Each structure stands twice: as structure tokens, then as C-alpha cells.
Structure 1
């Protein structure tokens, strides 16, 4: 079968990109014709491994020095002038509440619409609300349409939720990550097929964690969503009881300077380290003794589940749709009421106090992570696509 994945920026480092690449690699290995279509391109190479059999196509090349569209004559000049105007004009179809609304302008919309009109047959998978809306409006008939939600319905603003209610009914299936989110979508879109398929980890063949280390690990973009400010404040309380422990935060983002200032303010420069981006996160997770998730909201926290494949126990805020879908409090780790800094500190300290407890919870975490193994998750996608192509959608 032919499968196309539509991403806003396939050359970035986000969790959506990583999980889509994993899906695409599996589908190609299973013998399917797979293409990733990236609306924009800002880097030379993808940041995640991609099977050589997966084609990758760019619609708008934004790399420095990229060759502009060429042409001569009045028509070419008109198109260049029109494009310059469209770049400055806001999108017509994408609601302002879309998290990456600033990446959508009229030129982007027109380019995506132009691409969609060329699609024939097969399965088209779109991966965020802005793209899903354009697909629902402009994809031709005869294409199986699947919308993926890599976040969760509850975090979207009212205008995005209204757009979802108005436009998603055209999809043959809407795929969500958690049981709770499936229930929310079913209430919003009665009669639309809603399926829950979690994201898969990239591998179960991982080096086990070192429970004797004095290292807590966290990872994610340095954005407000991840609430690393709360984590730093919690660790400031922890080091009073456990001065021999370190917190290593992996990731890059706009809050780097703010977090560094917070670390300095609380004299944590020997305890909390902003490690930046690493291409060897598996190795870094294996050096840890526990994993901490401090997010304000999540879809399905994949780095947390990746940590569990190393046998790392988890301390997490019980933020909406995500951690509690995976973690049973007191089994694979500890869940803390959202945004309660003192509770997060106490939970970390409880695990730091007891190496045996870390090992027991880590073993349970490893067992639970098998539900997210590639060989468990990816066949669910393959079965869904085949059913839609041969069943009612056909």
C-alpha cells in the first residue's frame, strides 16, 4: 500500500517527528511504499534515522542559501510578488490557537493546498491540527485520510476545538494516544471513528539503568509545557536532604537562560545541569537512577516510556492524559498532584532514600514498557490502514 505522512517540519527534533519516522521505517520494512512530506525544511539532514526506502519530500525550502523559485517574464514576476504578499498574510483556515500558528501563513496554506490536490489514492496521514484542517478541506476523494493527534484534545484552545469539531468528521479515522483522549474525542465527534494507538518506543534492546548512581534524569524541549522551572525548584529542596545527587536535564529551547538564572539563584550549579541536546540519550538514560517528568501537560510522554525501557523508575506530575495512562502510582513510579513542587521533591527523595525501591519500581517499569514495543504498536497501524483501504473507506 502507499502511505504518505504529512509533517510541518520533518527536519526538526520533536517527539511527533521521531514517532512518525519510527512508523514510516516500520511500514517501509514491511514492504509498503512510504513517503514523508515536510511542509518546510530548515536543516540539511533529518535529525532522526530514516530507512533508505522512505522518500522525503519538501514543499518549502527555508534553508539559508536555498535556491529561490526561478522564472522570467511577467507571470514569474507576478508570482514572486504574490508570494511575498502571502508570506506576510496570516492563514485563512488555521485558528489562532494552533500551537505553531506563527509557522502558518497564506503562502504555506496555498502550498499545502496545492500539494493536496495532487494526491491520488493510498493513505494520507496528517499529524497536527493545522495540517489536519487543511487536509479535511482540500484532500481529494479516493484518498484514505487519517488524522493523528500527538497531544490531547483538552490542551487545545476553544477555537482549535471548534475547528476540530467542524472539520475532523471527514477523516476515515482519528488516531489518539490515550484511552482518556479517545473518550473526549468520541464525545466531540459522535459517529467519527476514533482509535487509540500509542506511540512506540524505538527499541526494547536497551542497557539497564544503574540504580547505584546518584543521577536523576529529565529530558524535553526547554519550553513552558515541560515546566522545568518547577523541577529546578523541587530539586532545590531535594539537595538539602541528598547533597550527593545530580539532576541532568537534556534538551534545548527558549527558556535556557531563564532556567540557568534559576539554577544560579538557588545555588544549584553543582547539582542541576542543563546538558543541551544529545544524540546519545539512551546512554544518558542508562547512567541515571530515576527519571523525572514535570510537564504541565502531555500527549503520551515518550521520553518517559523510553526511560522505562532502561528499567528507570519514574517520578511524575499527574498531568492530564499521559503519565497515569502508563504509570500506576507506587508500582512503576510515583505520581504527584500537578504543579505541587513540594510533592515532587518528596517523591524524588523517597526514591533517592532506597536503592532497593528504585530497583523494584524499575523492574515494573521495564515490564510495562513492553506494551509500547515496536512489534506491538506498529502492526496496529498496518492493520488500520489495510482495513480502511479495503473496508468502508473504499
Structure 2
């Protein structure tokens, strides 16, 4: 079976990059012919290592800079128009040169399955892609999370695709309602669970990870931690990731007097070790697709405190069993949940053990056969199974 994954920047960091490379690598290890096509390349070395059996190619190499593309972008928007709507989160990547390269690629590809991994790429595949390849939009965010221009284009053009794959039950229901004639399946991303080290619950650390952007809600997590810090003077908050909100979050930490308790740790090449050395995982996001870093934390037997944001946490967690689910945006309730777990090691151990059992259901050996069956049915022309995930 031949599968191609079209990824915006395979050499970059982020949850989508990590999970797509993981999925592609797992298929390659199973003996399939798998290629990752990176639309752009801005780094010499990938942030996440490539599986040796993967073929990786690039459409537009931007390691020498993007000044020419930036100049061309203005004319592309003003004169020629574009497929990628301005509301797409990565719209600025799609200069005339970049968009044309993607159009040429999807128009020329033949045979197998082409998986596009964000709306910009899926819209190009829907409107300009070859019908001699099976086209699958892999959606990592709920439909409601996208801005109105993006949602409008999705509703207008996704029906031309062969199928849509989503990560959560809520996303599946959204897309099935919006596009009733298009097959929509729910298959979660797989998480690596082998050889993970369980947290001992001896280190007084609350850990969080993600891009430092509005979506991740670290501006809510910091004041929540501030509420309980005085009661638990030995506890620290560690936030891993980089992004544009770093200055604002640094100021917020200072305003709450948490300079010795809370640190923005930047990026790490060994998040597993950091998770294993913590005792509570905090997910403060305003919205998610399927929060894979949360599930990764659960493989290390970490209990979770999470806002019940759309979508993801409630698809995975059972409140009171493997984590605590909090009304979105309720900083006081989030603080109370942190306080509950920080105060009780035995409860952390109990919930952490349950979290590890839950995470085992997302293991590669559980999830990848679903992707194989799904792609096989598409290629054979069989009727798509109504649900791969319960």
C-alpha cells in the first residue's frame, strides 16, 4: 500500500508534525510504501527524527530565506487570488510560489492514498487534486475551531474528497452533520507507550507543554497555579514550548510573584523524561483536536487537570478516575483541582495508574490496524466502515 502524507513543515515542531511523522513512521515499519512530502523546509535538521524507512521530500526549500516569497505574496493576494483563505492559521506560508507548488504536486500525484494534514492543503487537494489518487483530509482540529472563512471553504469544497478522518467523537459528529454525503471516520492518533517510565509522585512539579499561543491557555494556568502556590511552597510549575506569547507570559509570571516557582522552559528534545519527573499534568487549552501531549503524559502515569475544552479532553478522560475535568475558563476551579492533587500523593498515584491504563488504548499496536483497514477499504472501493473507534 502506498501512502503519501502532505505536511506543511515536516522539519518543524508542534503536535501535528509529531503525530503525522509518528503515524507515517509506524506505517513504514509495517512494510508499507510511505512518503512524507514537506511543503516547505526552513531547517537543516528535523526537530523530530525521521523513521529511516520513510521517504521524505520537499516542495519549496526556504532555508536561504523567504524574502522573495514574502514580496510575491502581496501580488498573489491582490491580483491573482488564492485557494488558501486568509483565516487559515498558516495562511502566511502560502505565497504564490508555495501555493503553486502544492497545486502542481497534488494535480500530478497518481495512485495510492494522499493524506492532507491541515485545511490549506486539503482545500488545494479538493479543488486541484488528481482523481487518480485517494484523497483524505486528516483533520487535527474540530470544525468549530476554524475561523469563518475557513469553515465556509471546507463546507463548500470538502465534499470532493474521498474521506475525512478526525480524532474525536465531537469532530466526527460535526463533520457528518456538515457534510452528510462524505465519509467521515474517527481514528485517533497513536501514542508511543513502550518503555515509558512511570512518575514516582515524589517530585513536586506541575508540568504543561505546548506552543506559547492563546489557544493553549497558559495565561489561565499561571494565575491558577498562583492561587495555590502559597499553600504548596515546594511545588513548581514548568511549561515547555516556544511561541509568540513568551513575553506576555513572562510578565504574567512576574506580576504574580512566581519567578522562583514558575519557568518557561523552552523546547526540549526529551519531553518523556520531563514528564516522568513530574507529578501532575495541566492542560489549560481553550480548544484542542486530540491533545496528544496529554495522552503522552498519561503514559507516564500522570494524573491530569484539564479544561473541558472543545474537543479532546472529555473524549479521553473520565472525571475523577484518571483526571479532573474543569469548566472551560474557570481559573478558580482549575486552581482547586490542582490543590486537590498537589495535596494528596495517594490520589495522584491512583489517578496516575488509571491514566496509564487509559493511554494504553491509544498505543500504536491498537491504532495503526485501524488506519490500515481504513486505507485498504478506500483503495479497494469498499464501503467505509461506519466507525473504527468506539
| Shorter-chain TM-score range | over 0.9
Show the 5 A alignment for 1:98-137. 98-137=88-127
The structure 1 residue matched to 2:265, chosen from 265, 275, 279, is 275
String of CA shifts for 1:39-79, please: whole Å, max 9, x gaps.
1000012111212221111111110379x9xxxxxxxxxxx
Q: SS of the residue aligned with 2:132?
A: coil
Looking at structure 2, the residues matched to 348 and 38 of structure 1 have their Cα atoms a distance apart, in angstroms, of 40
Pair 243,372 (structure 1): closer, same or farther in 2 beyond 3 Å: same
Show the 5 A alignment for 1:198-213. 198-213=188-203
Question: Structure 1 runs of 4+ off > 6 angstroms?
Answer: none
- Tell me by how many angstroms 1:88 deviates: 4.4
Matched, 1:166 2:153: no
Gaps of 5+ in 1: 69-79
Pair 64,6 (structure 1): closer, same or farther in 2 beyond 3 Å: same
Matched, 1:391 2:381: yes
Question: Does the CA-based 8 Å contact 1:13-1:47 persist in structure 2?
Answer: yes
Pair 222,84 (structure 1): closer, same or farther in 2 beyond 3 Å: closer
Q: What is residue 76 of structure 1 aligned with on the other side?
A: none
Question: Does the CA-based 8 Å contact 1:313-1:365 persist in structure 2?
Answer: yes
What is the number of residues matched between the two proteins?
381
Question: Does the CA-based 8 Å contact 1:293-1:304 persist in structure 2?
Answer: yes
Give TM-score scaled by structure 1 length: 0.93
- Tell me by how many angstroms 1:191 deviates: 1.5
Q: What is residue 176 of structure 1 aligned with on the other side?
A: 166
Looking at structure 1, the residues matched to 330 and 65 of structure 2 have their Cα atoms a distance apart, in angstroms, of 47
Looking at structure 1, the residues matched to 70 and 253 of structure 2 have their Cα atoms a distance apart, in angstroms, of 45
Looking at structure 2, the residues matched to 243 and 198 of structure 1 have their Cα atoms a distance apart, in angstroms, of 38
Looking at structure 2, the residues matched to 53 and 219 of structure 1 have their Cα atoms a distance apart, in angstroms, of 29
Show the 5 A alignment for 1:207-356. 207-356=197-346
Looking at structure 1, the residues matched to 376 and 72 of structure 2 have their Cα atoms a distance apart, in angstroms, of 42
Looking at structure 2, the residues matched to 31 and 338 of structure 1 have their Cα atoms a distance apart, in angstroms, of 43
Looking at structure 1, the residues matched to 2 and 188 of structure 2 have their Cα atoms a distance apart, in angstroms, of 22
Q: What is residue 379 of structure 1 aligned with on the other side?
A: 369
Q: What is residue 30 of structure 2 aligned with on the other side?
A: 30
Larger Cα-atom Rg: 1
Question: Does the CA-based 8 Å contact 1:83-1:107 persist in structure 2?
Answer: no
- Tell me by how many angstroms 1:117 deviates: 2.2
Q: SS of the residue aligned with 1:180?
A: helix
Looking at structure 2, the residues matched to 83 and 290 of structure 1 have their Cα atoms a distance apart, in angstroms, of 43
Pair 274,84 (structure 1): closer, same or farther in 2 beyond 3 Å: closer
Gaps of 5+ in 2: 385-390
Looking at structure 2, the residues matched to 393 and 89 of structure 1 have their Cα atoms a distance apart, in angstroms, of 41
Pair 118,344 (structure 1): closer, same or farther in 2 beyond 3 Å: same
Looking at structure 2, the residues matched to 45 and 340 of structure 1 have their Cα atoms a distance apart, in angstroms, of 41
Question: Does the CA-based 8 Å contact 2:3-2:33 persist in structure 1?
Answer: yes
Q: Which moved more, 1:277-286 or 1:97-106?
A: 97-106
Considering only aligned residues, what root-mean-square deviation do their CA atoms show, in Å?
1.9
Pair 105,393 (structure 1): closer, same or farther in 2 beyond 3 Å: farther
Q: Which moved more, 1:45-54 or 1:340-349?
A: 45-54
Pair 245,84 (structure 1): closer, same or farther in 2 beyond 3 Å: closer
Give TM-score scaled by structure 2 length: 0.94
The structure 1 residue matched to 2:187, chosen from 197, 219, 243, is 197
- Tell me by how many angstroms 1:266 deviates: 1.2
Looking at structure 1, the residues matched to 22 and 352 of structure 2 have their Cα atoms a distance apart, in angstroms, of 25
Question: Does the CA-based 8 Å contact 1:204-1:370 persist in structure 2?
Answer: no
